[in-house]
Amino acid sequence: MTNLIWQLRQWARRLGAGGLAGLGLLAGALLLQGVQVSSVQRAVAAQHERLAALHVTTARPAAPAPVPFNPLAELPPAGAAAQQIGELERLARAHGFDLPRGQYSVSPLAATPLQRWQLVLPVVTSYPALHAFIAAALERQPNLTLDELKLKRDRIESGELQAELHLSLFMEATP
């Protein structure tokens, strides 16, 4: 042990004060670098773990895509047209008037699996009752459209008006 101490003193004498200061600074720099590198290595390891977790989550099979809404699938079959027209008659009675016999025609829509029922209904009622009937019918039957509305009043002071409703009822054609 004494030999080691004697060797260190010899080296210190040869290096001098400047060499010892440089050696001390080198040791401090190595110690500081070791501390800094270890903290950076821990941060890099944490980033690698997060990256691996992200790879795992993206590697999972994706949930099946939601089926898009198809309004044509919601249409009633062609055999339900009589029920739909009966519903229109019930709605008219609920709003204070009757639907006399109208004109009905059925035609297939080209290049689609649909049938279009065209209804022409003459109506004699007040404007508020007619407005409420149309709003209720369109709300309850999403496959019903108002194509045309003709209004006629004999005299301006008359409370009743004569209307002609042109409606279309879309149904799914039976194969």
Own/partner contacts of 149-157, CB < 8 Å, gap of 24 or more, are 151/127
Round the average pLDDT of the chain to a whole number and report it.
84
Q: Provide the token pair at 81.
A: 């047209």
Percentage of the chain surpassing pLDDT 70?
Answer: 93
Supply the pLDDT for residue 148.
95
Can you tell me the distance from the alpha carbon of 34 to that of 28, in angstroms, rounded to the nearest whole number? 10
Higher pLDDT, 63 or 148: 148
96 pLDDT more than 80: yes
Can you tell me the distance from the alpha carbon of 58 to that of 75, in angstroms, rounded to the nearest whole number? 39
49 pLDDT more than 70: yes
75 pLDDT more than 80: no
pLDDT confidence of 113, banded at 50, 70, 90?
A: confident
173 pLDDT more than 80: no
Helix or strand (DSSP H, E) at 167? strand 161-172
Decide: pTM greater than 0.95: no
